[in-house]
Homo-oligomer: A and B are copies of this chain.
Amino acid sequence: MSKKNALVRLTAIQNHISNQPKPTGPTDLTRERENATFNVKHMNWLFWGDKEFAEALQDAFLIIQRDPNLCFPAGHHFDLTRPEQREFTMKQIFRYRQLRESLKNPLLIKALETAMSIYSESFMMRTYVHDILFLQSFQVFGTKEQYDSYIDDILKWKVIGCFAMTELGHGSFLRGLETTATYDSKTDEFIIHSPTLTATKVWIGMAGQTATHTIALCQTIVNGKMYGVNWFIVQLRDQKNGRLLTGVTAGDMGEKYGRNGLDNGWIQFSHVRIPRTNMLMRWAKVTQEGKYIPSANPTISYSTLIGERLTVLPGAVSTFGQILTIACRYGCVRKQGANDEQIMDYQSHYVRLMPCVASTYIIEIVNRMIMNKWQEIMKLVQTNQEEFASYLPDMHAISTGLKATVTWWGCEVLERVRRSLGGHAYSSYNAIAGAIGDWGVVTTGKKIIGSAEFMNNFQQIRSITKSTLSDEGQLLDLNYTLEMYTWLSSSTTDEETTWHNNQVYAVKLGELYSYRFTLSEYMKAIEEYSSSKTSEFKALVPILTKLGNLWAIHLIHDSLGLFLERGYFNGEQVQMIRKCYLELCKEIRKECIPLVDSWGYPDFVLKAPLGKFDGDVYPAYFNIMRAAPDCIGVPSYWEKYIKPLTNS
């Protein structure tokens, strides 16, 4: 049946159902919106930083929605095949690059980049690989000459880059990598080589189909001696025709669990010769005579990983924000039980979702603070290398801990949202399934342990042995709850902190540190808003504080076992915490629709009919199913495999 016929028939069906009652969803959401104790528009400004950027972002969304080269085919983004997804994402990038040229307003350009990254995970990943991983390698590891000779081509995407680190046999343990860069002083060249199958670079974003160049991490061999890993520029494909260069074998990794618009690839090098000057030599160097000059600060090799880890934060906010908007709206529209209650009014429902909503605010605000700090530090690369290096251990610890903790919490958020949608989460047309797939790649294989850097200044708190909690009101003081958390994260026994004896509890400890960090940073932000000159933001402090309280109590509630084991709380205090936790969830639940509205994700970005702003969810959901390819009609295999049975 043609698409047009399908629509005609659809309308007929809809008219045919005579007794159609008025949908209650819109009324429900209108009522929920009246519960707001704060100004949603002002919260939208705060969430995106300021009024100007928040408005530019809405403009950017409009540009996307109206541009067929940016906007996915209506409703059926999830029906695209893998090759179609790969192509569509590159089409988006191409169009986005055209628009960058024509748009004059730098704020709008920035907003468009953000909006596209929110709209498409695969767009975000492909541009991230080139614009951040590849480009920053030149900034951080390249000499001034190296940077200058490539930067124009990189900015124009004349050179398209990827970042080749992980290998088939080796993940994040860099010292174990097998790819070699052997210096040949006769020709002043390095020979890049994959000596074994397990040395194959794998999971390299954009290496599958797009990248013309890569930055490859290789074991450096000079005069037969191994000097550890360094970064090398290697061209992969001819910029004229896209063909692989001699000695380079690279391909696409095929079907993945998510992000199928990103061409993850594998690369094998077979004695590829590159000029010596293709080694990025800002820190370690190899001279023409074959002398290896090591880096003064070897930890710098890992510094691009800090930025890479931190990007998990905006990624989390974008994912959480979208799926929680869907879950909260649907939860307020969906009815269940004898009295047709909104499912969001079930305690078991809102207690699972409200801490997720709170965490989205906390993570976004903390994210902005850390990103600003990291950008300041990055500027030092060009001006004060020693100071730059001095910040690295701390940022290394923070970024490692946050990445692990936020990705784990992300799995929890996705799972909670998935369950909150019941069976409908299972349909690809409600975006949740896709979000779970996309998130999959973010999670690290193992939890990573936070650095002991966090342990400073906790000494006086360690001397406390019992909680002084005696009144529920104390739990609404963020300084008070933070102290509880500080106590817990510093109260572990020596045995528990020792990596080899007890990895399991050490992992838990790392998580505690990172959560404590988010809480203390968030408190600093609230303090700033409290004394802000923008009265719109000042007025939001009460609701922001309430969100912080919920996050704090949620964290304590989640670790009650550890508190009890160490004798900090007694049973009565635990009951108090439980009660306060449930009450805070109930309070936030009242404003859950205004809180998700404030993020301002348009319906077309959410891609989920059940999360529609107007609450009229069922016709939208049905229409999208109804328009799925081959929805109605005798299936092509009827004659072969069904008819012989039913006509036997």
Residues of A with Cβ closer than 8 Å to B? 13-14, 16-17, 19-21, 78-79, 81-83, 86-87, 90-91, 93-94, 97, 156-160, 166, 168-171, 173, 175-176, 194-198, 200, 202-203, 209-210, 212, 239-244, 249-258, 263, 266, 268, 270, 335-338, 340, 346-349, 351, 411, 415, 418-423, 425-429, 433, 436-437, 440-441, 443-447, 502-504, 507, 560-561, 564-567, 571, 574, 582, 618-619, 621-622, 625-626, 628-632, 634-638, 640-648
Contact of A445 among B91, B202, B419 (CB under 8 A): B419
Contact of A209 among B258, B436, B502, B635 (CB under 8 A): B635
Chain B residue numbers with a CB within 8 Å of A209 are: 635, 638
Contact of A158 among B567, B632, B638, B648 (CB under 8 A): B648
Chain B residue numbers with a CB within 8 Å of A626 are: 251
Determine the distance from Cα of A338 to Cα of B170 in the docked complex, in whole angstroms. 12
Find out whether the CB atom of B196 lies under 8 angstroms from the CB atom of A17. Answer: yes
Report the minimal beta-carbon distance from A185 to chain B, rounded to whole angstroms.
22
Contact of A503 among B244, B335, B347, B446 (CB under 8 A): B347
Determine the distance from Cα of A384 to Cα of B504 in the docked complex, in whole angstroms. 54
Chain B residue numbers with a CB within 8 Å of A251 are: 625-626, 628, 631-632
Find out whether the CB atom of B636 lies under 8 angstroms from the CB atom of A83. Answer: yes
Determine the distance from Cα of A158 to Cα of B441 in the docked complex, in whole angstroms. 45
Find out whether the CB atom of A83 lies under 8 angstroms from the CB atom of B630. Answer: yes
Find out whether the CB atom of A242 lies under 8 angstroms from the CB atom of B638. Answer: yes
Chain B residue numbers with a CB within 8 Å of A632 are: 244, 249-252
Chain B residue numbers with a CB within 8 Å of A622 are: 168, 197, 200, 266
Listed by A's residue number, 29 A-B pairs whose Cβ atoms lie within 8 Å are A13-B268, A17-B197, A19-B195, A87-B636, A93-B641, A97-B645, A156-B648, A157-B648, A159-B646, A170-B336, A171-B423, A198-B618, A210-B642, A241-B638, A242-B638, A242-B642, A249-B632, A253-B628, A254-B427, A254-B429, A255-B628, A257-B428, A263-B635, A266-B625, A418-B443, A419-B445, A560-B561, A560-B565, A561-B561
Determine the residue in chain B with the shortest Cβ distance to A507.
B348
Chain B residue numbers with a CB within 8 Å of A16 are: 270
Contact of A642 among B90, B243, B427 (CB under 8 A): B90
Chain B residue numbers with a CB within 8 Å of A19 are: 195-196
Report the copy number of this chain in the oligomer. Answer: 2
Chain B residue numbers with a CB within 8 Å of A195 are: 17, 19
Determine the distance from Cα of A17 to Cα of B251 in the docked complex, in whole angstroms. 17
Chain B residue numbers with a CB within 8 Å of A257 are: 425-428, 433, 436
Find out whether the CB atom of A337 lies under 8 angstroms from the CB atom of B502. Answer: no
Find out whether the CB atom of B158 lies under 8 angstroms from the CB atom of A646. Answer: yes
Report the minimal beta-carbon distance from A629 to chain B, rounded to whole angstroms.
7
Given A17-B195, A158-B647, A346-B446, 5 additional A-B pairs, CB 8 A: A81-B81, A203-B426, A241-B634, A257-B433, A418-B440
Determine the residue in chain B with the shortest Cβ distance to A175.
B338
Known interface pairs A160-B645, A646-B160; A618-B197 also in contact (CB < 8 Å): yes
Find out whether the CB atom of B422 lies under 8 angstroms from the CB atom of A254. Answer: no
Determine the distance from Cα of A78 to Cα of B257 in the docked complex, in whole angstroms. 10
Determine the distance from Cα of A82 to Cα of B440 in the docked complex, in whole angstroms. 22
Report the minimal beta-carbon distance from A231 to chain B, rounded to whole angstroms.
20
Report the minimal beta-carbon distance from A446 to chain B, rounded to whole angstroms.
6
